[in-house]
Amino acid sequence: MNAARHEMHARFWGVRGSIPVSGPGYARYGGNTSCVEVRCGGSVLVFDAGTGLRPLGAALVREGCADLDLFLTHGHIDHVVGLPFFALAYRPGNSLRVWSGHQGPGGGTTESTVRSLMSSPLLPITPDIFPAEVSFRDFSAGDDLAPPCGVSIRTARLRHPGGATGYRVDCGGRSICYVTDTEHKPDAPDENILTLVDGADILIYDAMFTDEELPRHRGWGHSTWEEGARLCRTAGVGTYAIFHHAPERDDEALDRIGAAARRVFPGSVVAREGMVLTP
């Protein structure tokens, strides 16, 4: 097989949770909400459509990318709000497949979630404005997926209000896992996640809170950087990317978390916009 088909990396375009932030205190790590680009050879996969999707779209258009798959963890606003501003969808002849294992309130589909966002009074446009070919793919969290690009993707159900999905991408014997918006149990690791990330090269994990903060935020559907480190040790993960930073967490606070995380799991990094990780 051609060596180029084995090339794989993850690039971060948005690393925040809940709401985008701006200002000098957030300049180094960035303020856009969740969006991660994964390249597997010639295939382009995007995970979540937060505000980071807008700059990603501009970069993809400059590159001439015309076909990709977008995987949503769930339909909460910080993970989908970038979709109406995704430049690739405004180019005739382009193809965009939007996947989701999160079925919205009342049994809604991926398409109905996007249409709810792109409708009055929230927006003056609907998805019908896109000149690209945009299709919607529903699945159940826990399914194995076979997108047209030929990459192997496994999924797992996460613990988040309304439901969410974690993903594992395997390509050329290497693996990247994207697991965000999940709340761990206080006394045991999540077996769904352990199974999904077992032996992974890279785990991108929801670390919105610290262990100290979590008791005040039970039921919010988020985890801690310490739990991420515990999962990585147990599952034999290579690199742990701390992700979905709380909007109030400024650069200095994230520096402190990074230093503490490296002491307990040396393979830890704090995700920042523009960072590229290669398995």
Model confidence, pTM: 0.95
Determine the number of helices (DSSP H) and then strands (DSSP E) in the chain: 6, 14
Query: Is residue 233 a contact partner of residue 261, using CB atoms and an 8 Å limit?
Result: no
**One pLDDT digit (tens) per residue for the chain, 279 residues:** 333 456 899 999 999 999 999 999 999 999 999 999 999 988 999 999 999 999 999 999 999 999 999 999 999 999 999 999 999 999 999 999 999 996 554 557 999 999 999 999 999 999 999 999 999 999 999 999 988 877 889 999 999 998 899 999 999 899 999 999 999 988 889 999 999 999 999 999 999 999 999 999 999 999 999 999 999 999 999 999 999 999 999 999 999 999 999 999 999 999 999 999 999
Can you tell me which residue has the tokens 């993903």?
Answer: 167
226 strand-pairing partners? none
- b/e for 66-93, b at 16 or more Cβ within 10 A? ebbbbbbbbbbebbbbbbbebbbbebee
Total domains, the chain = 1
Question: 226: domain range?
Answer: 3-277
Specify the CATH number for the domain of residue 76. Answer: 3.60.15.10
Beta strands (DSSP E) in 26-183 are 35-40, 43-47, 67-72, 95-100, 133-138, 144-145, 152-158, 164-171, 174-179
